[in-house]
Amino acid sequence: MKKLDIVYEDKDILVVNKKSGLLTVNDKKNNNNLYEEVYDYLHKKNQKVFIVHRLDKDTSGLILFAKNVKIKNYFQENWDKVIRKYKAIVEGNLNNDGIIKSYLYETKSFQVLSSNNHNRGKLAVTKYKVIKNKSNLCLIDIDIKTGRKNQIRCQLDSINHPIVGDKKYHSNLNLYHRLALHAYYLKFYHPRINQVIEIEIKCPKFMELF
């Protein structure tokens, strides 16, 4: 069994650092996924596992799993209250912090597109802060207020700053041989222990050295 990169664990939840290139769950084409690895780990401890949220295959970083239905339902019903932060390297320079609000919808070919028409899709809100510009690239810190499929990738592409390595959303660069997007921070209220849990991990070396 592969060794999981476990960041936090208690009797209710498990938080794992997912590597880039690994599916969160089986897509029927590829059985190699994080859920199966977590299932194997917890099954040996006679514990169950329930999916709370997902990360795209090529995005690395923090994923939270629940160990019982009650906790799973709590987090899914209150997911908009969980603070989730990412770092990304995008094409082009950004001089100011910003917020992207648009409506996302999915085509028949599973491409997520952005629209200003509220009748076209579901509202997505992404805030970003500029950390550093270098050459024709920019490292940004991202705080998402909604959790739509491909939200960060689609919305950054919609303002003509696609994430480096994101072929699906029009990146022309593959500098790091992966998608330059990492989920590094979670902050949430834990209902059973009545505490706020804050988890932060390091970013991949290419981001730390940017």
Region of 209 (left: φ > 0; alpha: ψ -120 to 50; beta: rest) is alpha
Phi, psi (deg, nearest 5) at residue 209? -90, 0
Which one from 12, 56, 157, 166 is the annotated catalytic residue?
A: 56
In whole angstroms, give the CA distance from residue 157 to residue 194.
39
Q: Is 56 a catalytic residue?
A: yes
The sign of the dihedral angle between the CA atoms of 138, 143, 149, 151 is negative
> How many CA atoms lie less than 13 Å away from 32 in the CB half-sphere?
8
The sign of the dihedral angle between the CA atoms of 96, 174, 20, 146 is positive
Active site residues: 56
